[in-house]
Amino acid sequence: MTTFGTKALLLYAAWLPLFALLLFPAPARLLASESGAKWQGVDESVVEKVAHEHGREAHTPLINTDQGDLLLFVFLMAGAVGGFAAGYYWRNLMEQGKAQAPKGSE
């Protein structure tokens, strides 16, 4: 077998399990935990425990972004405002970079 053929075979053998997991996700579910217990995040396991020890209990947020697409809308608006600002000041941003560049670099 040629060197190219060996490398191609090794590459195929390395990527085959990944493609199998992507195409057939059922075996991946079998590898997952069967206990059914939900994994706790840092908020639940650390922050809430320390807050409870110090007498501070959790309360509902003023603006609940966990429901609906409010969080998506907030990030969309922030991106639109940031994109507009960067586009509006594009020439100023780029000309300042050229003015500050050393003379020998051009």
What are the sequence ranges of the domains in the chain?
Answer: 62-101
Question: What span, in angstroms and rounded, lies between the C-alpha atoms of 53 and 46?
Answer: 11
- pLDDT, one tens digit per residue, over 80-89 is 999 999 999 9
Residue holding tokens 């110090």? 54
Higher pLDDT, 43 or 70: 70
pLDDT at res. 106: 53
How far are the Cα atoms of 18, 19, 33, 34 from residue 24, in angstroms, in the given order? 10, 8, 18, 19
- Mean predicted confidence (pLDDT) in 41-58: 84
Calculate the average pLDDT of the chain. 76
